Amino acid sequence: MNRFKKYVAPLLLSIALLGVGSNASAANLLLNGSFEQPGCSGSCILDTPAKANFITGWTTFLSGAEYFNMPASIGGSVAADGVVIVDLANYVYGNGGGIQQNFATAVGAKYRLTFSAGNSRYASRSGDGTIQVKVAGQSVTFNTPSAKGTAVEWSTITYDFIATSAQTTLAFSNEQNPYANFAFIDNVIVEPL
């Protein structure tokens, strides 16, 4: 029995603690939540049906979105995670831009959406913007942080929702004047609660 306590008990405790630790960090239900795949060396305008599925796991809608390498595009700025981000305020067209992804959910289960919202005063933009989120039949609008300079400022936004179907669509959009506003998103995570 003493041998059991000395050797086996600590081993079992270690295994139990490792199991708890791995359960504590749930996996992201979204594919490519930081938009790193396939990447973009500078700025990529995703404004046509042929480019709608360019970002792995995501589909653009309205007039598409801008997809770019943050450090290469706005000097002194970084992405919230990795190097590429999405700007929902597509400057090529003035009628709004959006991006969406479908993912598996359990009806009645609760989930948490977390994402980074960003803005900048680069290229004479106001430094303010909004991000519209639609998920599980709910629509909500969030403000980006108010940027004080050209370097992009980020904030983390969380939103809890209950799934109403086995497949849920998460959509981000912006319909502001793209010549006056940015609406950056990055590091999008959905996890079960």
Give domain status of residue 17, yes or no.
Answer: no
pLDDT of residue 15: 39
- 167 lies in a domain? yes
Q: What is the rounded (10 degree) CA torsion for 80, 84, 85, 90? A: 150
Q: Is residue 3 part of a domain?
A: no
CATH number of residue 108's parent domain: 2.60.120.260
Task: Say what the pLDDT of residue 22 is.
Answer: 40
Could you report how far apart the first and last alpha carbons of the chain are, in Å?
Answer: 41
Global pTM? 0.85
Asked if residue 1 is part of any domain, the answer here is: no
SS3 assignment for the chain:
CHHHHHHHHHHHHHHHHHHHHHHHCCCCCCCCCCCCCCCCCCEEEECCHHHCCCCCCCEEEECCEEEEEHHHHCCCCCCCCCCEEEECCCCCCCCCEEEEEEEECCCCCEEEEEEEEEECCHHHCCCCCEEEEEECCEEEEEECCCCCCCCCEEEEEEEEEECCCCEEEEEEEECCCCCCCCCEEEEEEEEEC
153 domain residue, yes or no: yes
pLDDT at 180: 94
The count of domains in the chain is 1
The answer to whether residue 149 sits within a structural domain is: yes
- Residue range of the domain that includes 172: 26-192
The residue among 125, 116, 132, 127 whose CA lies nearest residue 172 is 132
Instruction: Output the pLDDT for position 103.
Output: 98
12 in a domain, yes or no?
Answer: no
The pLDDT value recorded for residue 6 is: 52
For the chain, which ranges sit under pLDDT 70? 1-26
Residue with tokens 């108010």: 146
Residue 19 included in any domain: no
